[in-house]
């Protein structure tokens, strides 16, 4: 026993009889079993992975949860902000269309000067035509003062249709903003858990590299003891080098995922942040009947298609308004006189007048009917899009629900596979040291463990993204 301890702890080459000594063999098995990592270690904190890519900063890095990430992305994502801007524009269009149905009040103030006649003829007073006051007869005198309020009201089928159309367009913009918000949740969820999984895979790659290095050390010691051939050492060294390359690739992928998430979250491209790894036991899914009911009730894409169809209907009505008469009424109150005064020559100088205009379209070279035809074509297209949205809703509901259900049902199997892979690698390594397995079996067991751990992490992320996709149709489940 002392010979085994001196050989392994002092770094000496073991004698050839160690590999065949029962006591030394038992000691080796115990040491290897104690050094082998278990699957429970895979679920530990990924602080090492986060520290590998953290940027030096004067303060502590910002810790961000998924909800924090969604809130930050809503302020920085251009597509979402564009949808919100369109919603604001649609709201103002509705205000403007409503004002077209109500009387407008304006105040007009002007002065008109007309060139006079100059010196009057001596005998103009005796003339039957009298003395002219100006050279132009379009105005009421040489000086004309206009200072009056104007109440204007326009009545037409087009105005009413435009108001109804703007209300439907507002509902459509509101639905599209909801679509953008839910789509942003999916995008952030993918990037957020992409970084979480990348950090986990980096930790897994670190463990795999350490395991490969440890196995290389074991094979070298066994070769020195004459128990294995030099080919095993070469294979172990190749495997160790491959694991080092995989570790570099995992670090590169983690940095890439961090950069992608930083673009979504920070306006100043800050990389000094950490994310919370909350990929734990997935929550249960509701039944498909409940999901289908929520989808038909809360689906924004269906609401947007329905509102678009209403918009096209009102556009047809507005086009018909161009073929029908329109009435404009103006009521004027104020001064329209040769003198700018409240009273002139003992008479009150303030008065009112009313002008009503009925415009009847007669001939426009077919442009009005062409506009009506365009509106009808857009209405037919909107109806096709509405029916397609209804069919697509049912298809996507089933597709996204199946994806979420399948990914959740596979979670237990993936966890079990990772547990068994860890145990298989431990036992295969022990068997190799006992001379009962080959180096290829050990390398295969290590690769299988790495793949199983990564598959479990990908499975957890897949379920979260699948739920986010399903919620784009149903809202929060």
What CATH number should be reported for the domain holding residue 436?
A: 1.20.1600.10
Neighbours of 413 (CB within 10 A): 12
Instruction: State mean pLDDT over 315-333.
Output: 93
Q: Is residue 140 part of a domain?
A: no
- Percent of the chain having pLDDT more than 70? 82
Question: Is residue 56 over pLDDT 60?
Answer: no
Instruction: State mean pLDDT over 447-464.
Output: 95
Q: pLDDT value at position 124? A: 61
Q: pLDDT value at position 52? A: 43
8 Å CB contact between 417 and 382? no
Q: pLDDT value at position 258? A: 95
pTM of the complete model: 0.75
Q: Is residue 21 part of a domain?
A: no
Query: pLDDT, tens digit, for every residue of 236-249?
Result: 999 999 999 999 99
Q: Is residue 31 part of a domain?
A: no
Q: pLDDT value at position 130? A: 56
Q: pLDDT value at position 208? A: 95
- Boundaries of domain holding 451: 60-100+178-324+374-474
Question: Is residue 191 over pLDDT 70?
Answer: yes
Q: Is residue 8 part of a domain?
A: no
Average pLDDT taken over every residue of the chain: 84
Question: Is residue 150 over pLDDT 80?
Answer: yes
* β-pair type (104-113, 273-275): unpaired
Q: At what angle do helices 2-9 and 22-35 cross, to 10 degrees?
A: 40
Minimum mean pLDDT range among 152-156, 194-198, 207-211, 451-455: 152-156
How far does CA 310 lie from the centroid of its chain? Answer: 26
Q: Is residue 54 part of a domain?
A: no
Query: pLDDT, tens digit, for every residue of 375-422?
Result: 999 999 999 999 999 999 999 999 999 999 999 999 989 999 999 999
User: How many angstroms separate the CA atoms of 459 and 462, rounded?
Assistant: 5
Question: Is residue 4 over pLDDT 60?
Answer: no
Q: Is residue 273 part of a domain?
A: yes
Q: Which residues pair with 149 in a beta bridge?
A: 107, 333
Q: Is 145 helix (H, G, I), strand (E, B) or coil?
A: strand
User: How many angstroms separate the CA atoms of 97 and 115, rounded?
Assistant: 43
Query: pLDDT, tens digit, for every residue of 254-296?
Result: 999 999 999 999 998 888 899 999 888 778 889 999 999 999 8
- Percent of the chain having pLDDT more than 90? 65
Query: pLDDT, tens digit, for every residue of 129-139?
Result: 556 555 555 66
Question: Is residue 355 over pLDDT 70?
Answer: yes
> Could you tell me the pLDDT band of residue 13, with boundaries at 50, 70 and 90?
very low
Question: Is residue 33 over pLDDT 50?
Answer: no
> Could you give phi then psi for residue 113, rounded to 5 degrees?
-110, 130
Instruction: State mean pLDDT over 221-230.
Output: 90
Q: pLDDT value at position 340? A: 84
Q: Which residues pair with 21 in a beta bridge?
A: none
Question: Is residue 59 over pLDDT 70?
Answer: no
Question: Is residue 39 over pLDDT 80?
Answer: no
> Could you tell me the pLDDT band of residue 37, with boundaries at 50, 70 and 90?
very low
User: How many angstroms separate the CA atoms of 438 and 307, rounded?
Assistant: 68
DSSP of 201-258, one letter per residue?
A: HHHHHHHHHHHHHHHHHHHHHHHHTTSS-HHHHHHHHHHHHHHHHHHHHHHHHHHHHH
Q: pLDDT value at position 265? A: 93
Whose CA is closest to 202, among 258, 286, 156, 134?
Answer: 258
Q: pLDDT value at position 127? A: 56
Q: Is residue 136 part of a domain?
A: no
Q: pLDDT value at position 45? A: 39
Instruction: State mean pLDDT over 131-153.
Output: 75
**Total domains present in the chain:** 1
DSSP classification of residue 134: B
User: How many angstroms separate the CA atoms of 175 and 245, rounded?
Assistant: 48
Q: Is residue 385 part of a domain?
A: yes
Q: pLDDT value at position 41? A: 42
> Could you tell me the pLDDT band of residue 117, with boundaries at 50, 70 and 90?
low
Q: Is 48 helix (H, G, I), strand (E, B) or coil?
A: helix
H/E/C letters for each residue in 65-123?
CHHHHHHHHHHHCHHHHHHHHHHHHHHHHHHHHHHCCCCEEEEEEEEEECCECCCCCCC
Instruction: State mean pLDDT over 76-103.
Output: 93
Q: pLDDT value at position 112? A: 79
User: How many angstroms separate the CA atoms of 96 and 150, rounded?
Assistant: 19
Instruction: State mean pLDDT over 53-58.
Output: 44
Question: Is residue 46 over pLDDT 50?
Answer: no
Question: Is residue 2 over pLDDT 70?
Answer: no
Instruction: State mean pLDDT over 207-231.
Output: 92
Distances (CA, A) of 55 to 52, 61, 62, 260, 270: 9, 8, 11, 15, 9
Instruction: State mean pLDDT over 42-57.
Output: 42
Q: pLDDT value at position 67? A: 93
Contacts of 472 (CB under 8 A, 6+ apart): 179, 182, 183, 185, 186, 400
DSSP of 1-63, one letter per residue?
A: -HHHHHHHHTTPPPPTTGGG-HHHHHHHHHHHHHHSPPGGGGGS--HHHHHHHPPP-SSPPEE
Query: pLDDT, tens digit, for every residue of 174-187?
Result: 999 999 999 999 99
């Amino acid at each position: 026993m002392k010979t085994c301890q001196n050989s392994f702890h002092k770094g000496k080459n073991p004698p050839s009889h160690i590999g065949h000594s029962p006591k030394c063999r038992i000691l080796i098995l115990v040491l290897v079993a104690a050094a082998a990592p278990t699957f429970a270690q895979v679920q530990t904190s990924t602080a090492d992975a986060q520290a590998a890519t953290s940027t030096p900063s004067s303060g502590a890095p910002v810790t961000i949860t998924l909800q924090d990430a969604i809130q930050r992305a809503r302020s920085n994502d251009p597509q979402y902000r564009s949808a919100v801007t369109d919603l604001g524009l649609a709201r103002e269009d509705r205000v403007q269309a409503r004002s077209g149905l109500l009387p407008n009040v304006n105040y007009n103030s002007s002065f008109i000067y007309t060139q006079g006649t100059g010196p009057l003829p001596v005998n103009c007073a005796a003339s039957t035509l009298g003395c002219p006051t100006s050279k132009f007869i379009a105005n009421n005198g040489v000086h004309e003062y206009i200072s009056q309020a104007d109440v204007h009201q326009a009545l037409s089928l087009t105005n009413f249709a435009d108001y109804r159309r703007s209300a439907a367009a507002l509902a459509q913009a509101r639905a599209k903003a909801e679509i953008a918000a839910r789509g942003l949740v999916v995008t952030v969820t993918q990037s957020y858990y992409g970084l979480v999984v990348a950090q986990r895979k980096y930790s897994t790659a670190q463990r795999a590299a350490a395991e490969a290095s440890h196995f290389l050390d074991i094979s070298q010691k066994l070769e020195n003891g004459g128990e294995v051939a030099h080919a095993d050492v070469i294979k172990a060294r190749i495997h160790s080098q491959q694991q080092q390359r995989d570790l570099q690739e995992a670090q590169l992928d983690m940095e890439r995922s961090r950069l992608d998430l930083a673009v979504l979250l920070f306006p100043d491209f800050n990389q000094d942040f950490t994310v919370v790894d909350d990929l734990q036991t997935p929550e249960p899914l509701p039944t498909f009947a409940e999901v289908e009911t929520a989808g038909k009730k809360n689906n924004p894409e269906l609401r947007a298609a329905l509102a678009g169809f209403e918009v096209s209907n009102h556009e047809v009505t507005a086009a018909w308004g161009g073929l029908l008469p329109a009435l404009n009424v103006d009521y004027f109150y104020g001064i329209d006189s040769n003198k700018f005064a409240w009273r002139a020559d003992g008479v009150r100088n303030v008065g009112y007048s009313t002008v009503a205009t009925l415009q009847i379209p007669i001939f426009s070279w077919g442009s009005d009917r062409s506009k009506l035809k365009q509106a009808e074509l857009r209405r037919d297209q909107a109806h096709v899009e509405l029916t397609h949205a209804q069919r697509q809703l049912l298809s996507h509901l089933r597709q996204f629900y199946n994806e979420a259900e399948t990914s959740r049902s596979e979670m237990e199997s993936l966890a079990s596979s990772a547990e068994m892979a860890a145990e298989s690698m431990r036992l295969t390594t022990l068997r190799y040291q006992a001379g009962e397995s080959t180096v290829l079996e050990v390398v295969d067991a290590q690769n299988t463990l790495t793949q199983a751990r990564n598959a479990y992490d990908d499975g957890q992320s897949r379920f979260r993204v699948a739920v986010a996709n399903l919620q784009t149709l149903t809202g929060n489940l």
